[in-house]
Structure 1
Amino acid sequence: MASKSAKKVNLLDHNSIKHILDESVTEVVKNQGYVEDVRLSNAKLLIGTSIIVVALIAQFYKKKFPENRDFLLACIALYVLFNGLLQLISYTKEKNAILFTYPPAGSFTSTGLVVSSKLPRFSDLYTLTIASADPKSISANEPVHFTKSITGWFTNDGVLVEGLFWKDVEGLIVQYTKEPKKSK
């Protein structure tokens, strides 16, 4: 099961509730034999580091303003370009994803999972979606999801009842991994 310590949140804090649920989903998926794919995160870190380097070079360039005008314009253009690239990655690849995985070791599938979640503000309905990391792959299954109220997973004190939540998430993983029925 999960860790020994109880996971407690403030039930009035929407962000902390989503964070604790997403953290638990990650634990469940990893517990099922999936390994996290961190390539996209590493690419974003590299782009972010590049942004910082460009900003530092622009700040500490040895010439003063009127002389380095063209250099500063180039640095600003690079800064905008790299930030735009980060936004494009977030908008097209990440969306609501909380976890990307490789396929489990020893499986017949050649694609990992993309696990995403939503918990709209002022709502108690948590939506969890599991889809293929490569939807165009021949081994990709149809995405599955559930939408349930978070009230069944927390006690009145804000403690996550991990057994119930893990059972729901594991059921969704099983639903995704089962073979689709062949139509004649």
Structure 2
Amino acid sequence: MSDSNLELAYPIEIGDTVQVKQCLDESLIATLCDTHSCSTKLDSFKVTLMLLACFFALIAQFTPEPFPESRLTLGVCVSLYFICSGLLQFVTTFIEKDIVFMEYHGDFEVRTDLKRFESDYLFKVVVKGKVVFEEKWCIGNFFTEEGYFWNEGFEAKVRDVVSKALKKTKKE
């Protein structure tokens, strides 16, 4: 993905932390995917769970038996749908947490956080479960007052920080 693909043609509302975090995270993923192989194992697992849940919902919806006779089928399908949805929620909440980028071989991952009503974007590089770099970046460094995103500056900062963090861990 080229640098210009993520430049915003229109400003975003910088008071909307969800929109700001989404913009920063998408730029981070595009930047790191240019230089590192991205792991999609967790995403594939989540999509599989979603498809399985949809499959059970379709069976429950379009079962050919009339209602009183289809109670067992409906009960099983609803239960399996609930289990798939619960597993998906568990994976998202407790396993994925705040991971934005995971390297394919599992060498490192990048985690981010932007709390509601705050202007500090927390950036962490985690290598083998250990935080090797953690820093807060003010979103004002990457957005103008009108809400335009400075993609080149953000990408340069991400590349610099990740390469330094990985070099630091190789020395240890």
What's the TM-score bracket when you normalise by the shorter of the two chains?
0.7 to 0.9
**What is the identity, as a one-letter code, of the residue corresponding to 1:90?**
T
The TM-score normalised by the length of structure 2 is: 0.87
Q: Secondary structure at the match of 1:115?
A: strand
Q: What displacement does 1:168 show? A: 2.1
Conserved in 2, the CA contact under 8 Å of 1:146 and 1:172? no
Amino acid paired to 1:99: F
Aligned to 1:106: none
The answer to whether the Cα contact below 8 Å between 2:6 and 2:151 also exists between their aligned partners in 1 is no
Q: Please give the alpha-carbon distance, in whole angstroms, between the structure 2 residues aligned to 1:5 and 1:64.
A: 52
Higher mean C-alpha deviation, range 18-27 or range 141-150? 141-150
> How far apart, CA to CA, are the structure 2 residues paired with 1:82 and 1:5?
34
Larger % of helix: which? 2
CA offset digits 1:118-147 (Å, max 9, x no partner): 111100010011213x43xxxxx6431210
Letter paired with 1:34: H
Matched residue, 1:2: 3
Show CA shifts across 1:19-77 (max 9, x none): 1111111122123x211111111111111111111011011111111111122111111
Larger RCO (CA within 8 A; separation ≥ 6): 2
SS at match of 1:143: strand
Q: Judging changes above 3 Å, is the alpha-carbon distance between structure 1 residues 5 and 42 closer, same or farther for their aligned structure 2 residues?
A: closer
Matching residue within 123, 135, 155 for 2:144: 155
Extract unaligned runs of 5+ from structure 1: 104-110, 136-140
How far has the Cα of 1:116 moved from its partner? Answer: 1.6
Paired residue for 2:18, among 15, 24, 30?
15
Q: CA RMSD in A?
A: 2.0
- Kept in 2: contact 1:142–1:176 (CA 8 A): no
What is the aligned residue count? 168
Residue aligning to 1:81: 83
**When the two structures are superposed, what TM-score results if normalisation uses the length of structure 1?**
0.82
Which runs of at least 4 in structure 1 moved beyond 6 Å after TM superposition?
none
Q: Verify the 8 A CA contact 1:99 1:115 in the aligned structure 2.
A: yes
Q: Find the counterpart in structure 2 of residue 128 from structure 1.
A: 123
Q: Which runs of 5+ in 2 are unaligned?
A: none
Task: Tell me if structure 1 keeps the 8 A contact 2:124–2:131.
Answer: no
In 1, the alpha carbon distance for the partners of 2:118 and 2:132 equals 23
Q: How has the CA–CA distance of structure 1 residues 121 and 36 changed in structure 2, closer, same or farther, with 3 Å as cutoff? A: same
1:170 Cα deviation from its structure 2 partner: 1.9
